[in-house]
């Protein structure tokens, strides 16, 4: 039986569209919040077929619901036409019902011209577990090896976690995402996924990945778009605060979960290598930053900064004229040279705050930068003492 984790996603008071990767716990969370709602579970093929065979039944059953009742449509992208029905029902009966719509992709909704309900619903994002939801933070290597999907964290044995991650990749990524993106060649897509996983958290060279995967560059670009649209990947843009400085302009690509990244790369049964460890720790910290920004409704933009000479800061959060810099190192000892990029950036622009995150045990001060162990950094993040005010 899966462990239940307290999720910190706030339930909106009005109709909403909740988007998050499959397996992150959207349905479990919603059922705990809206147990008495009228449910349409499109993950179930039987329910999907029922609504497809009789397009009027959705509208009829909603109109029979009592005033004020929540109506939940789970994985709405499997039947995008329902978005038009929801739009019509909300227009004809304002405030009569509230709709909770979930999805693991907006790709089919856009492609099939589905109404995304502008100005009628609020958009929410859902993520794998975060440190504060998990409670006690596991050892760093455990986080990097297996990631933060709820089902994976609920399993205690490494063999069970590996089996779950391999099933996730085989059953979801290689099949459902391929269908979602209308990808015809499974062999080419599978090669791309493995190469893309090995390039996770690095400046993305699409042409090089296309050569390694043996497919055309436009095809690879389409594959990346499919991963982003299905919320499995994220482009981190380069920050260029000063036009006169020649900064690197290419984005980085990150997968949404460290365990999934290792599964895609065929690394689940292998020990963590030194270089891999660094990229995975960046991936995990980025996950925590994105989740906190969404849950706290902070807004702003996450970027990275790099110069052609090699100076790089992993994450910059920018909102208005404010910038917070974060450098992540998967080492147990902090070398002052590791803060050189933070110092270089601080000489270029004014930083509100700068942090180093590492795997050691003590907090340090390195010039203007606070150097924090991972656990302490996450405590400060969720206390609002890293971003925000």
| CATH at 29 | 3.40.50.300
What does the pLDDT read at residue 110?
A: 72
How confident is the model over 30-42, as pLDDT tens digits? 999 999 999 999 9
Q: Are residues 116 and 219 in the same domain?
A: no
Which of 75, 100, 125 terminates a domain? The answer is 125
> Taking 90 as the threshold, does the pLDDT of residue 46 lie above it?
yes
Torsional sign, CA 267, 154, 232, 354? negative
pLDDT at 155 over 90: yes
Q: Does residue 103 belong to any structural domain of this protein?
A: yes
- Give φ, ψ of 212 to 5 degrees: -65, -35
Residue 286 maps to a domain: yes
Number of domains forming the structure of the chain: 2
Q: How far is CA 377 from the centre of its chain?
A: 20
Give the 3-state secondary structure of residue 273: coil
The residue from 98, 125, 152 where one domain ends is 125
Do 194 and 324 have their domain in common?
yes
- Confirm whether 388 is domain-assigned: no
Which domain range does residue 193 map to? 131-382
**How confident is the model at residue 226, as a pLDDT?**
86
Kindly state whether residues 119 and 135 are assigned to the same domain. no
Interhelix angle 206-213/217-229, rounded to 10 degrees, is 100
Report the 10 Å Cβ neighbour count for 268: 18
Nearest CA-CA partner of 280 in 208, 202, 209: 202
The tokens describing 296, both together, are 């706290």
pLDDT digits (tens, 9 = 90+) for 103-144: 988 777 776 655 666 667 888 999 999 999 998 888 899 999
Tokens representing 235 are 């482009």
Q: Are residues 178 and 253 in the same domain?
A: yes
Distance CA 354, CA 340 (A): 12
Mean pLDDT lowest among 96-110, 144-158, 277-291, 313-327: 96-110
Helix or strand holding residue 158 (H, E): helix 158-167
Indicate whether 59 and 167 sit together in one domain. Answer: no
């Amino acid at each position: 039986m899966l462990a239940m984790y307290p999720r910190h996603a706030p339930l909106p008071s009005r109709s909403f569209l909740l988007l998050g990767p499959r397996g992150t716990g959207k349905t479990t969370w919603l059922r705990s919040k809206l147990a008495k709602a009228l449910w349409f579970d499109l993950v179930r093929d039987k329910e999907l077929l029922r609504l497809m065979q009789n397009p009027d039944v959705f509208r009829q059953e909603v109109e029979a619901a009592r005033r004020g009742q929540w109506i939940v449509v789970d994985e709405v992208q499997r039947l995008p036409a329902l978005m038009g029905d929801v739009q019509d029902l909300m227009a004809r009966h304002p405030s009569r019902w509230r709709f909770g719509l979930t999805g693991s992709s907006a790709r089919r909704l856009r492609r099939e011209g589905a109404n995304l309900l502008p100005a009628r619903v609020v958009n929410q994002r859902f993520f794998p577990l975060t440190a504060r939801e998990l409670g006690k933070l596991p050892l760093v290597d455990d986080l990097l090896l297996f990631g933060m999907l709820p089902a994976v964290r609920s399993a205690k044995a490494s063999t069970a976690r590996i089996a779950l991650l391999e099933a996730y990749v085989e059953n979801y990524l290689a099949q459902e995402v391929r269908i979602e993106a209308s990808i015809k060649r499974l062999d080419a897509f599978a090669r791309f996924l493995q190469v893309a996983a090995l390039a996770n958290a690095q400046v993305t060279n699409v042409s090089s990945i296309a050569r390694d995967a043996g497919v055309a560059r436009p095809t690879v670009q389409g594959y990346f778009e499919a991963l982003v649209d299905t919320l499995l990947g994220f482009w981190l843009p380069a920050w260029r605060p000063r036009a006169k400085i020649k900064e690197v302009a290419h984005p980085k690509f990150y997968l949404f979960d460290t365990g999934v990244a290792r599964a895609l790369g065929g690394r689940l049964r292998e020990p963590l290598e030194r270089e891999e460890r660094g990229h995975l720790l960046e991936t995990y910290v980025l996950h925590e930053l994105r989740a906190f920004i969404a849950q706290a409704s902070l807004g702003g933009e996450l970027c990275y900064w790099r110069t052609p000479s090699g100076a790089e800061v992993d994450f910059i959060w920018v909102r208005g004229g404010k910038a917070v810099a974060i450098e992540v190192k998967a080492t147990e000892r902090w070398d002052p040279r590791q803060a050189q990029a933070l110092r270089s950036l601080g000489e270029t622009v004014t930083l509100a705050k700068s942090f180093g995150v590492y795997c050691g045990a003590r907090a340090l001060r390195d010039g203007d930068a606070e150097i924090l162990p991972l656990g302490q950094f996450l405590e400060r993040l969720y206390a609002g003492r890293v971003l925000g005010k």
